[in-house]
A and B are shown apart, each in its own frame.
Chain A
Amino acid sequence: MNPIDTWVDTDEIRRLAQRLVTPAKQTTTSTNESGFGESFVGFAENPSKTAPLCPPVSAPVSAPVSAPVSTPALELPSTHTPAFESLANWLHGNCAATAVFVINLDGQVLFDEGSAHLHFAARGMALNWKIRDRVKPVRLLVHAGQFLELVPAHHAQGRLILGIVVPQALQASTLSTIREKIALS
């Protein structure tokens, strides 16, 4: 008898192991999966090699192809939903927030001020690490003196995750106020 059969579920191990030797599903940049909405027209890199997604009815305004690209090409059109505008303004004024975004548990961006590069971290945590079930926020140090706070909260649209970049950790009382404001947004 195999000496480890009594210790582990061998079928389960084989299934888990097989998952590790098959190529991981790569993140695609389709508009739906990436959560950037239909207005997303693609990344700005290698413009000469990238076929347009659709007939050029509304090509993005961009610098000439020969001009150097000086910033990462992940800055996306902002997504402003009026319902979250006032919340964002409050966060800027009262918490010194430098960026605010809201995603749902599917990773769809509901509100954004141009923090696309942070969505990936938020999505990964929301989808894989069950912060949806958490009460306390998750805090990431994203830069010197800059924290990304991911705050799970209830809303009329269901459970949402509010992402805020702030210079210091938020107090429990502030978080409570924020959750109330999200619920009312």
Chain B
Amino acid sequence: MISIAVSSQKGGVGKTTVSINLAHAFALAGIRTLLIDADPQGSVGLSLTRQSRLLAGFYDYLADPSLTLDQLIVPTRLETFSLMASGQAGDYDTGGSMGAHLARVRTFLHQISRRGFDLCLIDTAAGLFGVSGDVIASSDAVIIPQQAEPLGIRSVPKLLDGLGKLRVMNPRLQVLGVLLTMVQEDLEDSTEAAKALRELLPNELVFQSQVPRDGIFIKASARGLPAGVMENGAPIRKIFDDIRSEITRKTASPALTSRHA
């Protein structure tokens, strides 16, 4: 199994959208995928399950060692796609000391890996501290969605610095790269910002594919579905399948080799 955190310094950059649709792309490719909502706002759960407010989840696991994974993993209609909600435990804020839950998160991932999943994709809360930091410091790799607009790029230095520190704590952490999101081809400021970031960062640190701003994501969220399964969702499905291919190539992980190939 490979564990991949989807994280960012800044909020509102599309982490949850990326997580849901990327997990769906892997699951469609036959990769046994578990999508974990590690954001206390519960965005994944709110997007994909109507009962998310009732479900126990990731934060409950951190708080209560007696919980078993069977009580937390939610299957979907796609056999290879399972979810875990963020849960009900309310005393876990996203700030606080780094490392406070490190051992528990690592135990969690170890147990998940023994359940036969190929991929554990974790949608974290914004920021590289607290539980989000512990998740990154326990994962094999991290993807960084980054909104393609000049102001958002101001957070990039802090993001890179934070990831550098986390790699000291977790030397095996592979930074898969910045994934540009909400790209607006018809808006010069957006395309220029995307272009400038690509010129600034090493090639291997920016995904070739990028996610457009598209109303289909909002419609899909309203219906509790990944955008790729919507009517007219084929272009979005293609984009996330391309991102999936990039990740598979970058990680070279046997766990991510498509079973449909």
Partner-B contacts on A (CB < 8 A): 2-5, 7-10, 12-14, 16-21, 24-27, 121, 124-125, 127-129, 138-144, 148
Contacts and interface: CB of A to CB of B under 8 A. Distances in A.
Nearest to A18: B202
A26 B171 contact: yes
Contact of A140 (B102, B171, B173, B204): B102
A140 B100 contact: yes
B164 A139 contact: no
Contacts of B100: 138-141
A130 to B, nearest CB: 10
Contacts of A24: 167-168, 171-173
Interface stretch (B27-35, B154-162, B225-233): B154-162
Contact of A142 (B103, B167, B173, B204): B103
B153 interface: yes
A56 B164 CA distance: 41
5 contacts: A7-B151, A7-B153, A8-B157, A124-B99, A129-B97
Interface string B157-194: 10011011101110111010000000000000100110
Q: What 6 A-B pairs have minimum CB-CB distances, sorted nearest first? A: A16-B160, A144-B65, A24-B171, A20-B175, A24-B167, A4-B196
A35 to B, nearest CB: 16
Interface in B107-162: 150-151, 153-154, 156-157, 160-161
Contacts of A21: 175, 202, 204-205
Given A3-B150, A128-B165, A9 B99 contact: no
A8 B154 contact: yes
A15 to B, nearest CB: 9
Contacts of A13: 156-157, 160, 200-201
A8 B150 CA distance: 10
Nearest to B107: A143
B101 interface: yes
Contacts of B157: 8-9, 12-13, 16
Contact of A121 (B102, B160, B192): B102
Nearest to A137: B97
> Which of B101, B160, B165: most chain A Cβ within 10 A?
B160
B197 A4 contact: yes
A127 B98 CA distance: 13
A19 B164 contact: yes
Given A3-B189, A7-B151, A140-B103, 8 more contacts: A2-B196, A13-B200, A16-B160, A20-B205, A24-B172, A140-B99, A140-B102, A143-B65
A128 B171 CA distance: 13
B242 to A, nearest CB: 21
A140 B101 CA distance: 6
B208 to A, nearest CB: 15
Contacts of A12: 157
Contacts of B202: 17-18, 21
Contacts of A27: 171
B213 interface: no
Contact of A4 (B150, B167, B171): B150
B30 to A, nearest CB: 30
A4 B193 contact: yes
Contacts of B151: 7
B202 to A, nearest CB: 5
Contacts of A144: 65-66
Given A3-B196, A4-B153, A8-B156, A20 B102 contact: no
A125 B150 contact: no
B199 interface: yes
A8 B169 contact: no
B161 to A, nearest CB: 6
Nearest to A9: B157
Interface in B3-60: none
